[in-house]
Chain A
């Protein structure tokens, strides 16, 4: 597959570029090629879904896009940083600066309230507690949960928990918002709500990337990247 770009916004800056990326687990005869020679460009303003059945390599893709993993071959560039050349700590910092995560299982820290969970993303950034609090609160209000700031995850519904997770992902103002099956654990109404919020988060400086096996969800994005057997089989623009 060749490098694909969004036809929507060719003039907007490239936020992330995967170039001839392969990811091999194991070695020798037991080697498994989870990804084989994949190239992908994500620009600001993109609202991309990466869709494929299990085993298609989309989970591996998520790990690489999120800088949680490094490819066996090829290069990944985030902004102007080639993360494939970075050591773990530096890569972690790029991740903290540029990428926001939303997971299917929310992954909120159970003993912290909503505000505390959002604040966790701002720890160790030399922020004053008051400033951190203010930013976390603003982020919660952005997802409509300002009044639930002191609620713990168990006191929140699934939809609310996912919105807290969204607030947490947004509070660092990431370039790329990476959502892994964000609606997988939600009912239809909450799922629609979360998708609506997600689609509203792309901007001239930010891209939203959704990894899913659900074609309906995938089709609600602006651009759909389909995967199969460790490769990209199609990259289509669905709407502007």
Chain B
């Protein structure tokens, strides 16, 4: 035990005596470990952020859309699709929409030319949609039963479109749908699971029927909230329930799956950065081996006198190895701290949550120590092999 303490003490004084060189030695394991910690931590933080998003949005949102397997132009769902969907026990909330096509949306009539070529989706919606999507309004209110019944020209616009049209929250404004003025009654916040809604215009079914549709309204899409954990079964059941007895086919899509997929897609990037970190730490190890080999030559007189004073070859070897280990431990710890700082800064800038797996810090330090032991082996062997007689140049 006292021998161990002696080794540590001598290693520290040896390293402290050559501060600049020690600092340079530290850089290798430090940068390597920091790179690895940062890459794993940052990708985990990004993933953690997506996961958090997914859990906030709920994994239980299903989109059911009419599909045209018979080659129909504008496939629709049955008019009573919502009621049919509600017959599925696991379905909690349903909202149907109609995607209207070829409506030029402009902030005011004079701007028609500018916006003619920009496709802005216009949807006829029911009052349930924000509840089903679990999204709030930035300002104003959503299309309600009054709009439906009184057939007023009320519109809600997405937050992106509001920005584009310079509509201020709470401002009394109209926009033109195919030249027909609609009053903006609300601005919808951005919908993570349906990014297209950011730039969409939402109006009531009744008004859509009057202004833009010839026939009775038939929805072509439904958003369904089901009981958590029953997404797959509900998707299947919906197909049958909605389609029952009719020619319409529907496809279903669990909206959170895309996000979950995205959360996994940066594995490769992570592997690349980890490899670069490993490379850095290996180069750092080579640096340690190189500098310590030179150090052995420079300190040959010291080694000689230590041998003369009764320090065995093993002690000399372990002594040099200990210096390498101390470099590894300190470099590793500094690397972990630097890596954590990088994660923290990166996550703050990107607006993610700081996520760092608990195994990262010990793994980083162990890696740094391992590399420095490997790097220290050769110089330690060389130091032990020195003949005191030769190094002391006896006269």
Interface residues of A (CB under 8 A from B): 59, 62-63, 66, 68-69, 88-89, 92-93, 95-97, 101, 103-105, 107-112, 116, 120-121, 123-124, 126-129, 168, 172, 180-181, 184, 211, 213
Collect the chain A residues with CB atoms within 8 Å of residue B5's CB: 129
B394 touches A59 (CB 8 A): yes
Beyond A124-B3, A127-B2, is A92–B311 a contact (Cβ under 8 Å)?
yes
B388 touches A124 (CB 8 A): no
Collect the chain A residues with CB atoms within 8 Å of residue B315's CB: 124
Beyond A111-B17, A180-B395, is A97–B312 a contact (Cβ under 8 Å)?
no
Beyond A68-B388, A69-B389, A123-B10, is A88–B313 a contact (Cβ under 8 Å)?
yes
Told that A89-B313, A110-B17, A123-B6 touch, could you supply 6 new A-B pairs with CB distance under 8 A? A66-B308, A88-B312, A107-B301, A109-B305, A111-B17, A120-B306
B309 in the interface, Cβ–Cβ < 8 Å? Answer: yes
A89 touches B311 (CB 8 A): no
Complex A-B: 12 CB contacts under 8 Å? A89-B314, A97-B310, A101-B305, A107-B302, A107-B304, A108-B305, A111-B13, A111-B16, A112-B13, A120-B309, A128-B2, A168-B309
B392 in the interface, Cβ–Cβ < 8 Å? Answer: yes
| Contact-residue size bin, chain B (C-beta under 8 Å from the other chain) | 20 to 34
Q: A68–B313 Cα gap in the complex (Å)?
A: 12
B89 in the interface, Cβ–Cβ < 8 Å? Answer: no
Residue from B301, B308, B393 within 8 A of A68 (CB atoms):
B308
Collect the chain A residues with CB atoms within 8 Å of residue B114's CB: none
Q: A98–B214 Cα gap in the complex (Å)?
A: 113
Residue from B3, B13, B301 within 8 A of A116 (CB atoms):
B13
Residue from A66, A104, A111, A181 within 8 A of B18 (CB atoms):
A111
Collect the chain A residues with CB atoms within 8 Å of residue B393's CB: 105
B362 in the interface, Cβ–Cβ < 8 Å? Answer: no
A63 touches B13 (CB 8 A): no
Q: A22–B286 Cα gap in the complex (Å)?
A: 44
Tell me the minimal C-beta distance from B140 to chain A in angstroms: 75
Collect the chain A residues with CB atoms within 8 Å of residue B10's CB: 123
B395 touches A181 (CB 8 A): yes
Q: Most chain-A CB neighbours within 10 Å: which of B309, B389, B392?
A: B309
A89 touches B308 (CB 8 A): no
Within 8 A of A (CB), among B306-348: 306-315
Collect the chain A residues with CB atoms within 8 Å of residue B312's CB: 88-89, 92-93
Q: A89–B307 Cα gap in the complex (Å)?
A: 10
Residue from A88, A120, A123, A180 within 8 A of B394 (CB atoms):
A180
B14 in the interface, Cβ–Cβ < 8 Å? Answer: yes
Interface residues of B (CB under 8 A from A): 2-3, 5-6, 10, 13-14, 16-18, 301-302, 304-315, 387-389, 392-395
Tell me the minimal C-beta distance from A153 to chain B in angstroms: 11
Q: A103–B389 Cα gap in the complex (Å)?
A: 12
Collect the chain A residues with CB atoms within 8 Å of residue B17's CB: 110-112
- B316: nearest residue on chain A (CB-CB)? A92
Q: A69–B392 Cα gap in the complex (Å)?
A: 13
Q: A116–B14 Cα gap in the complex (Å)?
A: 12
- B394: nearest residue on chain A (CB-CB)? A59
Q: Most chain-A CB neighbours within 10 Å: which of B5, B304, B310, B389?
A: B310
Tell me the minimal C-beta distance from B17 to chain A in angstroms: 3
A92 touches B394 (CB 8 A): no
A92 touches B395 (CB 8 A): no
- B299: nearest residue on chain A (CB-CB)? A109
Collect the chain B residues with CB atoms within 8 Å of residue A111's CB: 13-14, 16-18
Q: A38–B22 Cα gap in the complex (Å)?
A: 48
A103 touches B13 (CB 8 A): no
Q: A105–B14 Cα gap in the complex (Å)?
A: 21
Q: A198–B388 Cα gap in the complex (Å)?
A: 23
- B302: nearest residue on chain A (CB-CB)? A109
Q: A103–B395 Cα gap in the complex (Å)?
A: 9
- B305: nearest residue on chain A (CB-CB)? A107
Residue from A103, A108, A120 within 8 A of B392 (CB atoms):
A103
Tell me the minimal C-beta distance from A81 to chain B in angstroms: 14
Q: A103–B310 Cα gap in the complex (Å)?
A: 15
A96 touches B309 (CB 8 A): yes
A101 touches B395 (CB 8 A): no
The 6 closest A-B pairs by CB, nearest first: A96-B310, A111-B17, A107-B305, A92-B312, A121-B309, A89-B312
B305 touches A123 (CB 8 A): no
Beyond A112-B13, A181-B395, is A63–B310 a contact (Cβ under 8 Å)?
no
Q: A127–B388 Cα gap in the complex (Å)?
A: 25
A107 touches B3 (CB 8 A): no
Collect the chain A residues with CB atoms within 8 Å of residue B16's CB: 111
Collect the chain B residues with CB atoms within 8 Å of residue A101's CB: 305, 308-309
Q: A59–B14 Cα gap in the complex (Å)?
A: 30
Q: A73–B171 Cα gap in the complex (Å)?
A: 108
Collect the chain B residues with CB atoms within 8 Å of residue A88's CB: 312-313
Collect the chain A residues with CB atoms within 8 Å of residue B6's CB: 123-124
Residue from A92, A104, A109, A213 within 8 A of B313 (CB atoms):
A92
